[in-house]
């Protein structure tokens, strides 16, 4: 199974992790779109420029002074 994680790190400590499981029988798009939407929502909440959102998504993170928001895939 694969997992998409949206991770918020504040002052070097993990503050929050939201995970989305991708099972073999599921279409990946059914999980990817909500995970990407949450990532974008959290970035905007922390002050990201909406015009740069595709760049942040492509890079997999948005960072500021003492925080970062990441989206990543993992296998379990």
75: Cα separation from own chain's centroid: 16
Q: How confident is the model at residue 27 (pLDDT cuts 50, 70, 90)?
A: low
pLDDT at 53: 95
CA 3 to CA 50: how far, in whole Å? 26
Say what the pTM is. Answer: 0.88
The closest alpha carbon to 48, from 28, 34, 68, 66, belongs to 68
pLDDT tens-digit series, residues 4-23: 999 999 999 999 999 999 88
């Amino acid at each position: 199974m694969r997992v998409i994680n949206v991770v918020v790190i504040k002052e070097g400590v993990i503050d929050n992790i939201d995970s989305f499981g991708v099972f073999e029988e599921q279409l990946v798009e059914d999980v990817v779109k909500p995970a990407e939407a949450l990532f974008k929502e959290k970035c905007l909440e922390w002050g990201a420029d909406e015009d740069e959102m595709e760049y942040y998504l492509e890079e997999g993170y948005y960072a500021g002074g003492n925080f970062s928001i990441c989206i990543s895939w993992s296998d379990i």
